[in-house]
């Protein structure tokens, strides 16, 4: 991300492009169009999205002949962490416990998975085992 810029969120379409770059590495715009889910946007639309991401500092490019090959500068983990924090703040009153409780109530997480999470927390904080 460019220095001095406020962290911005990704639109749904920008997110699709970023996931392509994270998963497939450097790509040309036409390759992105081929991977884009249906209905596929026009190549100019994808090029515009990539330019916006580049302006935000999340993507950069290298010149190969007369073409540009784009690559992610921003790390997927940074977006994941910010996205989770934003969801917890906006939808669960900033309570991670409420978020996990909602997952359990809707049976989106199993008892075994919860035990694994508890084991992970306890292994990171040995004092919590007492």
The residue extents of the domains of the chain are 12-72, 76-125
- At residue 79, the pLDDT reads 82
Distances (CA, A) of 126 to 67, 108, 112, 114: 54, 28, 21, 18
- Low-confidence residues of the chain, pLDDT below 70? 1-8, 127-130
- pLDDT tens digits, one per residue of 23-50: 999 999 999 999 999 999 999 999 999 9
- At residue 81, the pLDDT reads 83
- At residue 1, the pLDDT reads 45
Cα distance between residue 26 and residue 50, in whole Å: 12
- At residue 27, the pLDDT reads 98
Which one-letter DSSP state was computed for residue 38? Answer: S
Radius of gyration of the chain (CA): 19
User: Beta-carbon neighbour count of residue 88 at 10 Å?
Assistant: 17
CATH of domain 12-72: 1.10.10.10
């Amino acid at each position: 991300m460019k220095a001095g810029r406020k962290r911005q969120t990704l639109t749904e379409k920008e997110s699709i492009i970023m996931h392509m770059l994270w998963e497939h590495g450097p790509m040309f715009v036409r390759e992105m169009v081929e991977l884009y889910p249906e209905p596929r946007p026009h190549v100019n639309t994808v090029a515009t999205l990539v330019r916006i991401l580049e302006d935000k500092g999340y993507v950069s490019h290298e010149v190969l002949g007369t073409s540009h090959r784009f690559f992610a500068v921003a790390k997927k983990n940074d977006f994941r962490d910010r996205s989770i924090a934003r969801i917890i703040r906006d939808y669960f009153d900033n309570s991670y416990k409420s978020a996990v409780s909602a997952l359990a109530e809707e049976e989106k997480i199993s008892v075994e998975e919860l035990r694994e999470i508890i084991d992970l927390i306890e292994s990171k904080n040995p004092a919590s085992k007492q």
